[in-house]
Amino acid sequence: MNTEKTYQSIIKIVSNYSAQLAMVDEHIFQAKPPIGGWSLSEVYSHIFDSSLLSLMAIEKCTQGLGEQKKTLFVAKLLLLIGRFPLAKAPLKIADRVKKITPNAAQQLITDFELQLSKNYASISKAEANNKIKHPRLGYLNATQWLRFIEIHLNHHLNQLHRINKSFKK
């Protein structure tokens, strides 16, 4: 995996989240979409909260606080393909989702960007066998966690597009 390429991709994706957030009406941001599921607000809450948790996992990997475990084949495949199957978030992650304001969403984005830049330099120095457990994918190292963040951000960016489209019908 090319860490620099993944990092630059994440920066670009997050910029897209910020641009969409700047253009959304607050009522639509909070409203349950016509297609059902999470509101835009809840998607932003989920994606940046879980991305910050992923950065915490990266930090633990870079500090040598992980475990020497194998990465599951399914996780390797997902990281290679770069897409998630449509599935619900793990319960302990879904329970953290809440409705937030656009300002709170922007603050989460800012917090994520700051933590990402703080942790990025140490990712390439982290030991590949030092891993922290993901709720569904099993044990991931720092580079794999970064790739997970990229895939996860993209996955929910597509969800935002579906939600926005449902309001325009």
Residue type, 120: Y
- From the CA atom positions of the chain, what is the Rg in Å? 16
Predicted confidence (pLDDT) per residue in 46-90, tens digit: 999 999 999 999 999 999 999 999 999 999 999 999 988 766 777
By C-alpha distance, which of 106, 127, 91, 113 is closest to 44? 106
DSSP state of 31: S
Each domain of the chain, given as residue ranges in start order, spans: 3-167
pTM: 0.93
The pLDDT of residue 86 is 65
Homologous superfamily (CATH) of 3-167 is dinb family like domain (1.20.120.450)
Q: What is the band of 20 on the pLDDT scale with cuts at 50, 70, 90?
A: very high
Strand order in the sheet with 130-134: 67-68, 130-134, 138-140
The pLDDT of residue 87 is 67
Predicted confidence (pLDDT) per residue in 93-102, tens digit: 778 889 999 9
Q: Which residues of 117-144 are buried (b: 16+ CB within 10 A; e: fewer)?
A: eebbeebeebeeebbbebeebbbbbbbb
C-alpha span between 36 and 24 (Å, rounded): 18
| Token pair for 75 | 């996780």
The pLDDT of residue 3 is 92
The pLDDT of residue 96 is 85
C-alpha span between 25 and 140 (Å, rounded): 38
With a pLDDT cut of 70, the percent of the chain lying above it is 97
